[in-house]
A and B are shown apart, each in its own frame.
Chain A
Amino acid sequence: MTDQLIERLVADLKPRDLLIDSRLWVHCTICLIVLAGAVLAIMGLRVDYPNALENGAIFWKPGIFLACWIGSIFLILDFSRPITKINKWHFTPILLAISIFLWQIIVQAPFFLTSDATISLHDPNAIYCLSVIIGGGGMTMAISWKFWFAKTASPKPSILGALAGFSVGCLAATAYALHCDKDGVLYIFVYYGLPILALTAFGSFLSKRLLRW
């Protein structure tokens, strides 16, 4: 039986492209540029960009998600092959993002107790934030799944699936943050954090069926 199988496999052999790390970087960067371009073309840069340039919000807000996205790609590469080699330095971008977020919590702490913080949660435009992150992230995930994830063989498929969702969520959040002028940490936590969390959970759920090998 095994002899026959070997002959069948030999007959079926065709050259195949290897999973090459740099290809994932190029693919994801193109996705980010396309999505950011679409957000800027359709919705425009945030209306208060002179102020945002002055107070740094135009950098730190997308920067949080960009750093998370970079970290998640490093970790995806660590988890894509049968031999998992996790490089602890690959967590650095995510730690940087957490540091920026904590720094903003400290900076904005005096405003937490005012009603402004909770009023910001009733923003009717939040639906665009949710739609872009979930819709844009979902589309990117579908493309990336075919391009990369379906070809992987991870010993921890649920972690890889979760990272896929987290990564595309951060990518879409980076793009939308260029348009969004709400800089409150509570707003960011709720309207950016929850859809990213939802995509992470969705990716982990999908992995149980689609990333097993």
Chain B
Amino acid sequence: MPNYNSQKWDEWIRAVLKGDQNAYRLLLTSLRLWLTAYFTKRVHSNVVEDLIQDTLLTLHAKRQTFDSRYSFGPWIAAVARHRWIDHMRATLKYVETQLEDDYPSQETERDICAKHDVKILLKLIPSPQAEVIELVKLKEFSIEEVSKQTGHSPSSVKVMVHRGMKKMMAAVEKVQDD
């Protein structure tokens, strides 16, 4: 993963805030590389470009919130993390509501990306819940099948899926930037 180019970024952003277009081009191009690495670790490759663009648009719209007493690196990392959380929030909602076991999905591109992203998050929650979510939402077994496989009652499987999804969302919000 490309490192923070902190010193350069700090110089460029200060020039950007005064309206220097050349510095802005350099900054955005440099950030693009860093953001590609940042999002590739966290989401399916098909959505990486969308998230990079969202982050650059956010930087453009909210650059006035940068506090020039501090370094730019943590600020852009917080913005990227916010975009990632927003994406994961939508993905988890999609997985919970759209990928119903009664209506097996047609494996659209969105389904594939969502399943990939959720799979990364499964390690953030306790393994019994992770196992049930993987079977119901990612492998699309029916509740009854999962109930037989795991030994939990069908209603307990539904509760575990629901609570697991909520726990994953809470875990996403707490994830610190590395």
Contacts and interface: CB of A to CB of B under 8 A. Distances in A.
B80 to A, nearest CB: 9
Interface in B66-91: 66-68, 70, 74-75, 78-79, 82
A213 B85 CA distance: 12
Interface in B16-65: 16-21, 24-25, 28-29, 32, 49, 52-53, 56-58, 60-65
Contacts of B78: 82-83, 155
Interface of A is mostly: loop
Contacts of A80: 65
A80 B62 CA distance: 11
Query: B interface, how many residues as a size bin?
Result: 20 to 34
A113 interface: no
A153 interface: yes
Contacts of A13: 16, 19-21, 24, 60
A83 B60 CA distance: 17
B53 A213 contact: no
Contacts of B21: 10-11, 13
B49 A6 contact: no
A159 B49 CA distance: 31
A18 B56 contact: no
A19 B52 contact: no
A15 B19 contact: yes
A157 to B, nearest CB: 10
Interface of B: 16-21, 24-25, 28-29, 32, 49, 52-53, 56-58, 60-68, 70, 74-75, 78-79, 82
Given A13-B19, A81-B67, A81-B75, 12 more contacts: A2-B32, A5-B56, A6-B29, A9-B56, A10-B21, A10-B24, A19-B65, A82-B62, A82-B75, A83-B78, A152-B65, A213-B82
